[in-house]
Amino acid sequence: MTDATPLTIYRDTVRPEWVDYNGHLRDAFYLLIFSFATDALIDRIGLDDATRQARGRSVYTLEAHVNYLHEIREGTPVRVDARVLAHDAKRMHLYFEMFADGHDGPVSASEQMLMHVATQDGPKSAAFDPDVAEHVAALHALQRDHAPPAFAGRVIALPARR
C-alpha cells in the first residue's frame, strides 16, 4: 500500500483581477491556477526553467478539462493537489483537485494531457530524458493505489453520458 496523503503542489489566493462581474473567480482563472500547479509539477520532475533552457526542452499542454464545482470569492486561499494518472515515454496524464477554505470537498477539478518536446529545431515531441522519466514514474507510483479520481474520463454531452 502507498501512503494516501495527497500531493499538494501549489497554493495561491484568489486575486482581485481574477474575479468576474459576480465577484467570483472567472472560469478561465481556475485553469490559470491549475496551470501554475502544472508549472510546479514540471519543476518537481526535474524540468525547472534552467534545465529546460540548458537541455532545449519544454512541456506543452495538449488538452485540458475543467469541472467547476463551487464558486469562490476574491481573497479566498486555495490549494491544488496533483496526481500523475498515467504516462508514456513522452506524455503525462495529470489530474488536479483545487480546495478552498470553507469547502470540505474540491471546488474544482482538472484533467490534462501534457507532451514533452525538444525545442532545438522547432518544437518536436520527444521522450523524457532518463532522469526526468524516473521522476515521472515515481510520482505515478506514489498514488497508483489511491481511489480513482472523481472527475476524470468525462465527456460533455446533452443528455449527459459517460
Q: Which spans of this chain sit near a copy of itself (rule: CB under 8 A)? A: 21-22, 26-29, 31-32, 34-35, 38, 49, 58, 60-68, 71, 85-88, 91, 93, 111-113, 123, 152-159
Give whichever of 62 and 127 is closer to a copy of itself, judged by the CB atom. 62
Beta carbon of residue 13, minimum distance to a copy of itself (angstroms, whole number): 17
Beta carbon of residue 121, minimum distance to a copy of itself (angstroms, whole number): 15
What are residue 61's DSSP bridge partners? 114
Give whichever of 22 and 54 is closer to a copy of itself, judged by the CB atom. 22
Beta carbon of residue 101, minimum distance to a copy of itself (angstroms, whole number): 19
Give whichever of 8 and 68 is closer to a copy of itself, judged by the CB atom. 68
> Do 46 and 132 touch, CB atoms closer than 8 A?
yes
Give whichever of 3 and 102 is closer to a copy of itself, judged by the CB atom. 102
> Do 105 and 94 touch, CB atoms closer than 8 A?
no
Beta carbon of residue 110, minimum distance to a copy of itself (angstroms, whole number): 10
- Omega before 130 cis (within 30°)? no
Say if residue 29 is exposed, middle or buried (CB neighbours under 10 Å; 0-12, 13-18, 19+).
Answer: middle
Beta carbon of residue 37, minimum distance to a copy of itself (angstroms, whole number): 11
How many H-runs (helices) and E-runs (strands) does the chain carry? 3, 6
For residues 134 and 136, what is the distance between their CA atoms, to the nearest angstrom?
A: 5
Rg (CA), the chain: 17
Give whichever of 3 and 36 is closer to a copy of itself, judged by the CB atom. 36
